[in-house]
Amino acid sequence: MRIAYLEDDLDQAVVVKNWLLEAGHAVMHFSTSKDFLKSVGRDSYDLMLMDWLLPDSSGIEVMRHVRSTLKAYTPILFVTQKDAESDVVEALEEGADDYMAKPISKLELLARIKSVTRRILGMNEKELPEAAPYKFRSDSTTVELGDEVIELTHREYDLARFLFSRAGRVVSRAHILQSIWGFTTMDMNTRTVDTHISRLRKKLSIGPENGWHLTAIYQHGYRLEKYNVEEK
């Protein structure tokens, strides 16, 4: 899972980031709201983790901007020292999906992240995506399409699972590159993503005939979504 983390306390950020990395998440840390908003405005994430008290803004103001400008809904989990009931109510009413008061524990944070993403996005990284007429197999890198068994490379299989588990959402090339290859855009050319997407589209015959659209979003990334029968 790819997480955008806004926290100006660098000591706290190091600890939490290490927890998340150890749990298998990809984390992009930002210490200012300006850098955070710049990134989430041009990139995609599965979750936003943010503090309330920031040097150049407030977490509430950042969240308002996110909710009013971003088309794709991304869960937001607040982690802050503000623990009054009125603070919790304000954050939730303004658009937060969950709220944790510092100090926090590793296990509770990881559990909250799983709960929020499963509840809001229906995501569980360990489960196979529901993608009829495609059927993913957990014991191999094959995908069944009717009576056909399609052999994929490990990378193609991981990419297919990634896209189908995020069906309906726009995912950036950087998001894909980091989640599937473990690289940032500085480490690897994003054309690699385009090449693998094209190959996967052909292998799985992704198109209206099988009920799915895989669309390139100009200067951003891709969106895989169910085909609307009314379009026929």
Beta-bridged to residue 223, according to DSSP, are 170, 215
> Can you tell me the mean pLDDT for 90-113?
94
**Pairwise CA distance, residues 24 & 17, whole Å:** 11
More confidently predicted of 72 and 88: 88
Confidence of residue 229 (pLDDT cuts 50, 70, 90): low
pLDDT digits 0-9 by tens, 173-208: 889 988 888 876 555 567 888 999 999 999 999 999
Which stretches of 23-58 are DSSP H helices? 33-42
Query: Mean pLDDT over all residues of the chain?
Result: 90
Q: Please report the pLDDT score of residue 6 as a whole number.
A: 97
Beta-bridged to residue 195, according to DSSP, are none
Q: Which residue has the tokens 């569980």?
A: 124
Q: Please report the pLDDT score of residue 58 as a whole number.
A: 93
As annotated, the residues of the chain forming the CATH 1.10.10.10 domain(s) are 134-231
Q: Per CATH, is 2-121 categorized as 2.40.30.170?
A: no
Q: Is the pTM of this model over 0.75?
A: yes
The DSSP secondary structure of 138-205, one letter per residue, reads: TTSSEEEETTEEEE--HHHHHHHHHHHHTTTSEEEHHHHIIIII---TTTS-THHHHHHHHHHHHHHT
Q: Per CATH, is 134-231 categorized as 1.10.10.10?
A: yes
Confidence of residue 222 (pLDDT cuts 50, 70, 90): very high
As annotated, the residues of the chain forming the CATH 3.40.50.2300 domain(s) are 2-121
